[in-house]
Amino acid sequence: MSDFEREFVMVKPDGVKRRLVGNIISRLEQVGLRVVAMKMLQLTKGMAEKHYVIHKGKPFYDGLIKFISSGPVVAMIIEGKDAVKRVRKIAGATNPMDAEAGTIRGDLAMVIGRNVVHAADSPENAKIEYSIYFKESEIVSYEMINEDWVYE
């Protein structure tokens, strides 16, 4: 569909080490979103700094850089109608204590510093972020077999 947008999602080191990757992907796919690119990688300090440049100078910045580069992550591009808004709703509030039950963070996380997943906050930021991790040639286009039953 031409009105699909792309969202950047990253399962953070705590989510990977706790073996929550499949659960998180499943939650995204179950609503009708599709994974169009995915890879597991270890972020370098430089990649982490590029990703979180908007937080540079904030009190939590150094800890965030250290944490996000402390273990493997799973980076993904998720595609679908209103993908950014939908993924952020599924992810839940940044602080798990404020996240609704049924969301990734509400169900799987306890504290803001270990909130399992990152999701870009706009289509524009999603593109900036996923461009750090993926080349255009690594993004796969396909149609879901049940797409007619997901979208009107």
Residue with tokens 């699909």: 4
Closest Cα partner for 1 from 83, 84, 115, 99?
83
DSSP at 95: S
Cα–Cα–Cα angle for 82, 84, 90, rounded to 5 degrees:
100
* Number of neighbouring beta carbons within 10 Å of residue 24: 21
Active-site residue (options: 16, 96, 118, 129): 118
- DSSP annotation of 100 reads P
The reply to whether 118 belongs to the active site is yes
Q: Which residues are catalytic?
A: 118
